[in-house]
Amino acid sequence: MIDIDAAATSYFQKLIAQQGIKDLSIRLRALHAGTAKGDCRLEFCEPSEVESDDWRIDCEGFSLIVDSASEPFLRELSISYQPDRTGGQLTIRAPQLKGKPPEAGAGVIERVQYVLASEINPGVAAHGGKVSLVEVTSEGVVVLQFGGGCHGCGQVDVTLKQGIEKTLMQRVPEISAVRDATDHSTGHAPYFKR
């Protein structure tokens, strides 16, 4: 359910009117959804930019458009606007945007994937990198695949041992070790050359 207060509705109506484009909408997009860095982006959306699988919420005098990938994270969205002397403050609350930690009793794989998404990948993304789970062996060894700027990076061993392995072993005590399954000789754009 989307809840937009009257002040936010008026604010959006004024913004859209200033653009002078017929049937202009506001697009809401979830960025880094499901992670600690989860955020929401607002942008204008012309009629030709609306996709067939977009979620459309008709409001008074305009529509909010949510892309299908963002929709699960923005289901319980609330938007409010507090005017003040300098303009005002638009507040967006999306309780599902950052994802939910696994519940008590969740399996090792689910907990490892959550730590990768919420803590590891936001950090390595600063260097254009990404880390994916390949498997968790019966001995508790986590096997990872590095991509982007981490693929072929000269510092990947340090990142693995000093950062990723320490973090994963602290958050998921059943883990005995973390290994890298990546063929780093095939990396195309490493952050640090080997």
Of all residues in the chain, the percent with pLDDT exceeding 70 is: 99
Q: Residue length, the chain?
A: 194
Instruction: Report the pLDDT value the prediction gives residue 165, as an integer from 0 to 100.
Output: 95
Residue 44's pLDDT is: 97
This model's pTM is above 0.85: no
pLDDT along the chain (194 residues), means of 10: 91 95 94 82 95 91 90 89 89 86 88 86 81 95 93 91 94 95 88 80
What is residue 76's predicted lDDT score, i.e. its pLDDT?
86
Task: Write down all domains in the chain, each with its CATH number in brackets.
Answer: 3-93 (2.60.300.12), 108-186 (3.30.300.130)
Contact present, 110 and 133 (Cβ < 8 Å)? no
Give the integer Cα–Cα distance in Å for 31 and 50. Answer: 18
Q: Among residues 134, 187, 180, 130, which one has the least CA distance to residue 160? A: 180
Helix (H) or strand (E) holding 13: helix 6-19
Q: Tell me the C-alpha distance between 112 and 152, whole Å.
A: 23
CA distance 166 to 102: 19
Residue 6 has a pLDDT of: 95
Contact criterion met (CB below 8 Å) for 54 and 65: yes
